[in-house]
Structure 1
Amino acid sequence: MIMKTTFSNPVIPGFHPDPSVCRVDEDYYLVTSSFDYFPGIPVFHSRDLVNWRQLGHVLTRDSQLQLQGSFPPGWSQGIYAPTIRYHEGLFYVITTNISIQKSFYVWADNPQGPWSEPVFLDSWGGVDPSLFFDEDGKVYVTGTSDFMGEQTGIYQAELDIADGKLLSTRRLIWEGTGGSHPEGPHLYRINGWYYLMAAEGGTEYGHMETIARSRNPYGPFESNPANPILSNRSTSKPIQATGHADLVQAKDGSWWCVFLGIRPVGNAKRHILGRETNLAPVSWNEEGWPVAGNHGLAELEYDAGTLPLGEPAAWEHREDFDAEMLGPVWNFYRNPEPDSWSLKERPGYLTLKGRVCGLSEKGSPAFVGRRQQHKNCEIRTKLEFLPEEGEEAGLTVFMNEKFHYEIAKTLRDGVPKLIFRRRMGSIMQIAAEVDYDGSEVILGIQANEVMYTFTYAHPDRTTTEVIGKGEVAFLTKEVAGGFAGTFFAMYAAGSGKNAETPAHFDYFDYVPLEDRPLNLFEVFTRSE
């Protein structure tokens, strides 16, 4: 048996941005941002920093996570940039809920949960808070400016971890190196120095990770003369927009960092899958500064060094909905209405009941989905549904309320139909429809780097028909905006009211296909 000695990025593909990591003995735990999706803050476990298994979510109750904010449709709300830390037998996750514009932390003695009710920070502004437990027992919260006229930079205060009250005034401790939007800070104590690491340049193509140090937790901080320590800006590297990193030391003493990055497609540099979690080695130079990746560059592949690489878990292609609870890969869009979904109403099926709120409205549609994690893949589901007039249910590729595609079964003017719809900004169009009289239908989506192709088939027939196509480019952040990535989801909707008829989904297949770069000829021909 040949032991694997390298690993490939991303280590957690698909929409998993703003990673934060901590180690407890030989175990690593990692969290990422979840924005508008519920449950909030996916939490992962690994023994080698490369192969990650999702344990569940940190925020699983409405009392922990309210996602009905006041921002316009299409804007990313909800949970921004969590940090996970372990101290004296407890795990802490601190974050900001933009929907209610408050920062808070929760704690648990087991990362699988249950996690506590939120402890809201008293008199704290800004976003991206991080916790640091110092050797003298003091606890610090470090985050950004409050975007309300406060000087841009990184702020810090001492925190009473028991009740969330600040024990000191928030102080500006570092303005960064001059890049825009200093954010995502973390404070560490290493070899007698306090290192303050932050992201700058905005979470786009100018993104970078910078670092400074001081003998005092409040500074003054000396900027690393070799900043940024990690950035792929102004390069043609396949990973771009690298930043928002967190350092971790392995049990063997080696250092690593997790960070976000994107994999753009084509000359337009649009990315399909959202910001993903990556891993890079970290070395320390003679002056005591960290050097991340390949002399500051993020690569697709690295030598694993002394990491005890294990085997990745087998991909589970089918969800058959036989369990009593949804698995950790599944999400709702915002807080679900309790009677909008069920695994018990019809055992072996996911039942969705359409709401007044549809996919294009700001609210909580009947929606159960999972992240798109592969540029090339196939999705299938078997739907049983006999709709009343105007009701619909089906599959969607969803970026936000203003940008999504769907194939659905519906009833229009008394005629049962299948429809294919595109929503692109202010333009909404039923691009195709066919009469379909059966109660059951197999709906499918084929995805590649250029196009989503929507298909349907009768369960008793071998032929599959294409009903429509939608360009991938319109569901990318560069077009649709926001901070999330694409989801494949089952959904149901009423017609201006809650639906009378339930939609039953028998299974959901997600089959990854081999990723390979397309040449320009393929790009143009596949776009036709």
Structure 2
Amino acid sequence: MNTIQNPILPGFAPDASALHVGEDYYIATSTFEWWPGIEIYHSKDLVNWEWAAAPIARRDMVPSELLGNYNSGSLWAPHLSYADGLFWLVYTDVKSSTAFKDTLNYVVTAPKITGPWSEPTLVTASGFDPALFHDDDGRHYFLNMLFDWRLENPGFAGTVIQEFDPVTRQLVGERRHFYRGTSLGVCEGPQILKKDGWYYLLCAAGGTGYLHAATVARAKTLDGPWEDSPYFPLLTARDDAANPLQKSGHACFVEIGGEWYITHICARPLTERGNCTLGRETALQKIEWTDGWPRLANGTHHPELVISAPKAAGNVRQLLDHSERVTFAPDKDLPHTFKTLRTPLTPETDYSLTARPGWLRLYGGQTLSSHHKQTLFARRWQHFAFTAKVKIDFVPQNFQQVAGLVLFYDTCNWIYAYITRDERINARTLQILRCDFKDFTYGSEAVPLPDGEISLKVCVNGAEAQFYYKADGGWQPLGDVQPADHLSDDYVETRRGRCAFTGAMVGICAQDMDAHQSHADFACFDYEEQR
């Protein structure tokens, strides 16, 4: 029997919204502060998924912009649907997280998954995790998690529903509570499936950490009453600490060839209930319908690392290695795997592929602490063990001009091997600087460098990272082993005191704290997974 190994989207791919249109399957995932926003993947068989689009790719797609947004804010939990010959995407730009949440919910449409996507319409700001439900009577509904800022209330106020006008793209009629959740607590990510005369409501429950779960309720009408499933919860690892797919929840139904599955969020800790450097990922579980209720095909509510593939997939083999070699050329776009922070970078202003053919030139920008505009390109970690390396040609004129190779979680958590100039010895130097929330420390001594090109490499293996450099000889270690597991939701949450939602990245960057006029040239970025 053909099998699928989870996760199907490894490395920082959370909040999957699955969609079936004709012979095609799509998954939309959250990107938070990373740009372009909202990743959409495509498959024909649920086994192999290829990147298809990042629809939030124009500045006007987020009218309030992401610049200045807090870490782990911005673009949360998209929902993808199809109706009236259009793809519909709803998403939230989260601007604040205190006693208040500023949650701006937008809707966009496109005739094809690759666009062009319409200008966004602001629908509401009452909560997050919005979804559209297109009923078979032609009516449309907007679902949302309502947030209550009043101090005497718990914040999460259940799920609400309101009719949606697809022409004006505005809410009509009265908003009403229609489901307040279960004993598992916080009810998020509401999605509705209509099947065999029943409305099935699939919700995320219990927060986003190790107590996360997915639950199901059903009703004959959208007005209810809603009955909770006897198979409760549908999915969780909260009572199974040894399960490799922890934090499982936030699910979505998908059908292929008469078989049913759910996509769902998960995370793989390095140790039991420990740090998850790959962030929250997307997995797949097979379900069966029993007495009109969905339940996992394995007869439990625990996710499985390996599941049976759909019969419709045939004997297709799952591709598991996401290694990538990136070369730079004037006539070649940067790969979709390269992400920037909070805003797109402008060709020939922030970077150039033409100034030095065969190299990517980065013009020094703001520091790694900036919530505004950095000159940084980074890609996800997609495996626990990998090597990333790059060649750099950089001639800094002073200590404020910096460039190098970085392991990055957010603006408060990173490990940076950087080249700069030390005027005290009149030479370039290479050193590691580490940011651990608000604590800055050096991770190595400063190494004087000869003139010319320098190669940098980092080898990540689970909780450890080792940097290396090569000048005019072989590879030399730079500093001692660095704590790679600190670049995780779990570690960052303990330091920050509130939720963190993204995942570890590796990338290249340049800063100029002087006149923003220096540049660094990078050749051939390699990301190689070790299997």
- TM-score, normalising length: structure 2: 0.91
Question: Shift of the alpha carbon at 1:306?
Answer: 1.1
Report the number of matched residues. Answer: 503
Is residue 39–residue 331 contact of structure 1 (8 Å, CA) maintained in 2? yes
More divergent stretch after superposition (430-439 vs 390-399): 430-439
Is residue 145–residue 156 contact of structure 2 (8 Å, CA) maintained in 1? no
Is residue 336–residue 366 contact of structure 1 (8 Å, CA) maintained in 2? no
Question: Shift of the alpha carbon at 1:220?
Answer: 1.9
Alignment of 1:60-459 (within 5 A): 60-65=57-62, 67-68=65-66, 72=70, 75-99=71-95, 101-121=103-123, 123-149=124-150, 152-235=157-240, 236-250=242-256, 252-267=257-272, 269-286=274-291, 288-294=292-298, 295-309=300-314, 310-312=316-318, 315-322=322-329, 323-338=331-346, 339-355=349-365, 357-389=366-398, 390-413=400-423, 414-432=426-444, 433-458=446-471
The one-letter amino acid of 2:128's match is: V
Q: Name the SS for the 2:486 alignment partner.
A: helix
Separation in 2 of the partners of 1:63 and 1:498?
29
Separation in 1 of the partners of 2:355 and 2:323?
25
Q: 1:151 to 1:401 in 2, by over 3 A?
A: closer
Q: 1:303 to 1:312 in 2, by over 3 A?
A: closer
Separation in 1 of the partners of 2:483 and 2:210?
22
Separation in 1 of the partners of 2:484 and 2:252?
31
Which digits, 9 at most, give the CA deviation of each residue in 1:281-300, with x for residues without a partner?
A: 110012x1100252221010
Is residue 394–residue 409 contact of structure 1 (8 Å, CA) maintained in 2? yes
Question: Shift of the alpha carbon at 1:464?
Answer: 3.3
Which residue pairs with 1:54 in the alignment?
A: 51
Structure 1 or 2: more strand by fraction: 2
More divergent stretch after superposition (123-132 vs 184-193): 123-132
Q: 1:171 to 1:334 in 2, by over 3 A?
A: same
Which residue pairs with 1:483 in the alignment?
A: 501
Q: Name the SS for the 1:270 alignment partner.
A: coil
Tell me, which stretches of 5 or more residues in structure 1 are unaligned?
515-528
Separation in 2 of the partners of 1:67 and 1:513?
38
Separation in 2 of the partners of 1:468 and 1:116?
50
Separation in 2 of the partners of 1:349 and 1:171?
56
Is residue 69–residue 77 contact of structure 1 (8 Å, CA) maintained in 2? no
Mapped pair 1:24 → 2:21: yes
Q: 1:268 to 1:176 in 2, by over 3 A?
A: closer
Is residue 67–residue 371 contact of structure 2 (8 Å, CA) maintained in 1? no
Separation in 2 of the partners of 1:284 and 1:161?
32
Question: Shift of the alpha carbon at 1:157?
Answer: 0.5
Is residue 158–residue 181 contact of structure 2 (8 Å, CA) maintained in 1? yes
- TM-score, normalising length: structure 1: 0.92
Q: 1:471 to 1:151 in 2, by over 3 A?
A: closer
The one-letter amino acid of 1:506's match is: A
Is residue 156–residue 187 contact of structure 2 (8 Å, CA) maintained in 1? no
Separation in 2 of the partners of 1:34 and 1:239?
21
Is residue 157–residue 167 contact of structure 1 (8 Å, CA) maintained in 2? yes
More divergent stretch after superposition (478-487 vs 35-44): 478-487
Question: Shift of the alpha carbon at 1:221?
Answer: 0.8
**Aligned-residue CA RMSD in angstroms?**
1.7
Q: 1:367 to 1:227 in 2, by over 3 A?
A: same
Give % identity.
31
The one-letter amino acid of 1:478's match is: D
Q: 1:468 to 1:307 in 2, by over 3 A?
A: farther
Q: Name the SS for the 2:490 alignment partner.
A: helix
Tell me, which stretches of 5 or more residues in structure 2 are unaligned?
96-101, 494-499
Separation in 2 of the partners of 1:267 and 1:248?
30
Separation in 2 of the partners of 1:9 and 1:438?
46
Is residue 50–residue 279 contact of structure 1 (8 Å, CA) maintained in 2? no
Question: Shift of the alpha carbon at 1:181?
Answer: 1.9
The one-letter amino acid of 1:486's match is: A
Q: Name the SS for the 1:40 alignment partner.
A: coil
Which digits, 9 at most, give the CA deviation of each residue in 1:210-263, with x for residues without a partner?
A: 01111111322111122111111121111100011100111x111111001000
Question: Shift of the alpha carbon at 1:469?
Answer: 2.7
The one-letter amino acid of 2:303's match is: A
More divergent stretch after superposition (124-133 vs 466-475): 466-475
